[in-house]
Amino acid sequence: MLGCVWHYVYTSFLRYWLKWFIRQVTGTCELQRICDGYQAGAARATRTEYSLRSSKNKVLRAALETKKADLWPRVDLIMKEKNIKPQKDPQFKERLHICLLQITGYSSLFVSVENLRKEVFDSDNPEHEAMLMKLWHLLMPTVNLESRVTKQWGDIGFQGDDPKTDFRGMGVLGLSNLVFFSENYTMEARQVLSHANHPKLGYSYAIVGINLTEMVYSLLRSDALKPHFYNTVQGSPELQHFQQLYCYLAYEFDKFWVAEEPESIMQFNQYREKFHNIVRTHLQDPDVSLKLSVSAAN
Amino acid sequence: MIFFNYFFFYYYFFLQGLLSILRKLKSTPDQEVRILLLGLDNGGKTTLLKQLASEDISHITPTQGFNIKSVQSQGFKLNVWDIGGQRKIRPYWRNYFENTDVLIYVIDSADRKRFEETGQELAELLDEEKLSGVPVLIFANKQDLLTAAPASEIAEGLNLHTIRDRMWQIQSCSALTGEGIQEGMNWVCKSVNAKKK
């Protein structure tokens, strides 16, 4: 209760008085102090985002919804509004621009990911079919598919004779992640597949991949990936950065699964939850940066 | 002093009433019912489960292993076990048979190519000793699709009328829109009550 009152008083009065006071003393506005005082990455971008979001000034708040092409003029507007002289603080403009790219880029990344997810896999779409075939050839370079509908799909971890029903709620996003991993980390993907095909410790490679796509998608949607992208991309994060993160999860989950030695595939959801918690813990670290690193032991 | 007495009595009776209500709540805990949700992959089991629990159904992925949820319905606590349907994990189904009160078997009514396969799996389930006498509800799912076969056609194809050793029911439904699910669950609760007697 007391906390609520304090929070209300702080956000509606104290914060502004405090800001005004510091501004009078130091001659710099909050945004300048953030861009100067904090390192590039989550530390700077998260604070900038908070500052803009809680600003009373429309010009500043609107910066969060500005399109990528209009960001430079928006930075100029903010500097004019806040009376910031480029001569006095030469680095400010560039730094704020990068923060804005990161913040608005995260929202537009979600839009493009969501569009791909909503795209239903369609056997009549030659592009979709080509992606599916590409996945097969990347993972199984020496084996030819006997036909389009075949039990062989089970060898790379689809459920039935036709993968098209397995994409479901993740749509083409699930497929494109599987292809991205196999294409950019071919050796690693094949290694993961060989673990997945282990007679006792195995799991369904493609299905688990689609499941992990759901994990990384939900993390993106809940804004949990912000610190990671702010730390790793000094600009607006693109689809490929999202897919890199999927590769990290696919690779790390396999390592985790093999190390845990679950009794059988029926325990999948318990271990998935455990893995999810580990990832979430990583993401709470302000310095988080999740990158697939291949250990020499493999 | 009189005022104090009045106050005291009111307070006392109020507490008594509250306690009796609490005791009553405690003395009739919901009866737990174990429900097994089976069927081929892509039948709609997880969508059905999420629909029962009033959860979002737009991000569903194929089930590795199983999902479990508890739902309150008509004085019952329904513990619903949704087991993955892919061929590779069907051998694990039997690990979940013990103490099952009702079996719900889900069929994709639009996937005619797999009617034979789904019929075989159902027949094998009905032959299982651990499931003998367990009431079975068959959901003829995906009725929202134009190509879906009607429940009557499926019942005939599966020879359901030859089932004599247990209560059974076929219910057409759409896990996507929620249509028909409530009717099916009403039958589930009814059959549990009937078995109790």
SS (H, E, C) chain B: CHHHHHHHHHHHHHHHHHHHHHHHHHHCCCEEEEEEEECCCCCCHHHHHHHHCCCCCCCCCCCCCEEEEEEEECCEEEEEEEECCCHHHHHHHHHHCCCCCEEEEEEECCCHHHHHHHHHHHHHHHHCHHHCCCCEEEEEECCCCCCCCCHHHHHHHCCHHHCCCCCEEEEECCCCCCCCHHHHHHHHHHHHHHHHC
> Do the Cβ atoms of B61 and A218 come within 8 Å?
no
- Pairwise CA distance, residues A149 & B95, whole Å: 31
pLDDT digits (tens, 9 = 90+) for A68-90: 999 999 999 999 999 999 888 89
- Cα separations (Å) of B68 from A67, A207, A250, A297, B84? 44, 19, 25, 38, 11
Which token pair is A295?
Answer: 């250990």
β B66-73/B76-83 pair status: antiparallel
Cβ pair A77, A69 in contact under 8 A: no
Lowest-confidence region among A163-172, A244-253, A279-288, B1-10? B1-10
At A123 the pLDDT is 95
Average pLDDT, chain A: 94
The segment with the largest mean pLDDT, out of A8-22, A113-127, B2-16, is A113-127
> Do the Cβ atoms of B41 and A218 come within 8 Å?
no
Q: Is the CB of B95 inside 8 Å of chain A's CB atoms?
A: yes
Alpha-carbon gap: B64 to the closest alpha carbon of chain A (Å): 6
- Pairwise CA distance, residues A294 & A250, whole Å: 13
At A151 the pLDDT is 94
Which token pair is A231?
Answer: 């730390």
ipTM of the complex: 0.86
Could you tell me which residue, B194 or B197, shows the higher pLDDT? B194
> Do the Cβ atoms of B59 and A169 come within 8 Å?
yes
Residue B159: how many CB atoms within 10 A of its CB? 11
Q: Is A298's pLDDT higher than 50? A: no
pLDDT digits (tens, 9 = 90+) for A219-254: 999 999 999 999 999 999 999 999 999 999 999 999
Mean predicted confidence (pLDDT) in A264-269? 94
Which token pair is B56?
Answer: 């979002």
At B25 the pLDDT is 60
At B38 the pLDDT is 97
Mean predicted confidence (pLDDT) in A165-173? 96
Could you tell me which residue, A86 or A189, shows the higher pLDDT? A189
Give residue B62's pLDDT band: very low, low, confident or very high (50, 70, 90). very high
Residue B53: how many CB atoms within 10 A of its CB? 13
Return the domain boundaries, chain B. Answer: 30-196
Picking from B107, B106, B102, B96, the residue whose alpha carbon sits closest to that of residue B66 is B96
Out of A170, A203, A266, closest to residue B61 by CB: A170
Mean predicted confidence (pLDDT) in B47-70? 95
At B5 the pLDDT is 65
Residue of A nearest to B67 (CA): A269
At B8 the pLDDT is 67
At A163 the pLDDT is 96
- Pairwise CA distance, residues B21 & A268, whole Å: 43
Architecture of domain B30-196: 3-Layer(aba) Sandwich (3.40)
Say whether B86 is catalytic.
yes
Mean predicted confidence (pLDDT) in A170-175? 98
> Do the Cβ atoms of A264 and B88 come within 8 Å?
no
Which token pair is A72?
Answer: 């430079």
Lowest-confidence region among A3-17, A174-188, A190-204? A3-17
Lowest-confidence region among A258-262, A281-285, B20-24, B99-103? B20-24
Picking from B88, B4, B70, the residue whose alpha carbon sits closest to that of residue B31 is B70
- Pairwise CA distance, residues A166 & A149, whole Å: 13
Give residue A297's pLDDT band: very low, low, confident or very high (50, 70, 90). very low
Pure H helices in A82-204: 92-118, 126-139, 171-184, 186-196
Mean predicted confidence (pLDDT) in A209-217? 98
Out of B59, B62, B92, closest to residue A159 by CB: B62
Mean predicted confidence (pLDDT) in A104-117? 97
Known binding residue B45? Answer is yes
At A22 the pLDDT is 85
> Do the Cβ atoms of A265 and B65 come within 8 Å?
yes
Alpha-carbon gap: B66 to the closest alpha carbon of chain A (Å): 6
Q: Is the CB of B144 inside 8 Å of chain A's CB atoms?
A: no
- Pairwise CA distance, residues B75 & A90, whole Å: 70
Chain B residues with beta carbon closer than 8 angstroms to that of A207: 61-62, 64, 86
Which token pair is B80?
Answer: 């619903």
SS3 for A46?
helix
> Do the Cβ atoms of B58 and A168 come within 8 Å?
no
pLDDT digits (tens, 9 = 90+) for A48-61: 999 999 998 999 99
Cβ pair B77, B35 in contact under 8 A: no
Chain A residues with beta carbon closer than 8 angstroms to that of B62: 159, 166, 168, 204, 207, 210-211
Catalytic residue among B86, B120, B169, B171: B86
Give residue A211's pLDDT band: very low, low, confident or very high (50, 70, 90). very high
Give residue A40's pLDDT band: very low, low, confident or very high (50, 70, 90). very high
Across the strands, what pairs with B81?
A: B36, B68
Q: Is A110's pLDDT higher than 50? A: yes
Could you tell me which residue, B2 or B117, shows the higher pLDDT? B117
Cβ pair A122, A128 in contact under 8 A: yes
Q: Is B176's pLDDT higher than 90? A: yes
Out of B60, B86, B95, closest to residue A159 by CB: B86
